[in-house]
Homo-oligomer: A and B are copies of this chain.
Amino acid sequence: MNVVNIASKFNLIQDHWHPRIVGQLNDSYIKLAKLKGEFIWHKHEVEDELFLVIKGRLRMMLRDQELSITEGEFVIIPHGVEHKPVADEEVHVVLLEPKSTVNTGDVPSERTINPEWI
């Protein structure tokens, strides 16, 4: 059992849109990711997903609205809801999602990754 310092873990991440696992509990992973630019539209058929912003401002595009999530704020995207994260400037996020979650959801592409631990 160990204490995880979020800022120290972020220092190990150099790339964008590549979540790294930093913890696991109850069949879910805690992941960290740096985001910059636009991701793709996708949804997760069965997994709800939490985005907690640690640094910067995340724009979460939904089909019928846009949400702005800044430092110290989180949003939960329910399963089945199409979303596209956009980071105009670099954003640091903590993700919480079931271990089965694929980053590109129902849209496999060259941006689909298999997250590893850091």
Interface residues of A (CB under 8 A from B): 1-7, 23-26, 28, 30, 47-50, 62, 67-69, 72-78, 81, 96-98
- Interface contact A77-B1, CB-CB below 8 Å: yes
In the complex, residue of chain B having the shortest beta-carbon distance to the beta carbon of A74: B4
With A23-B50, A26-B28, A47-B26 in contact, do A1 and B96 touch (Cβ < 8 Å)? no
In the complex, residue of chain B having the shortest beta-carbon distance to the beta carbon of A7: B72
Residues of chain B within 8 A (CB-CB) of A62 are 1
- Interface contact A3-B68, CB-CB below 8 Å: yes
Interface of A is mostly: strand
With A28-B28, A81-B1 in contact, do A23 and B76 touch (Cβ < 8 Å)? yes
In the complex, residue of chain B having the shortest beta-carbon distance to the beta carbon of A81: B1
Residues of chain B within 8 A (CB-CB) of A47 are 26
Chain B proximity of A5: nearest CB distance (Å): 5
Residues of chain B within 8 A (CB-CB) of A6 are 72-74
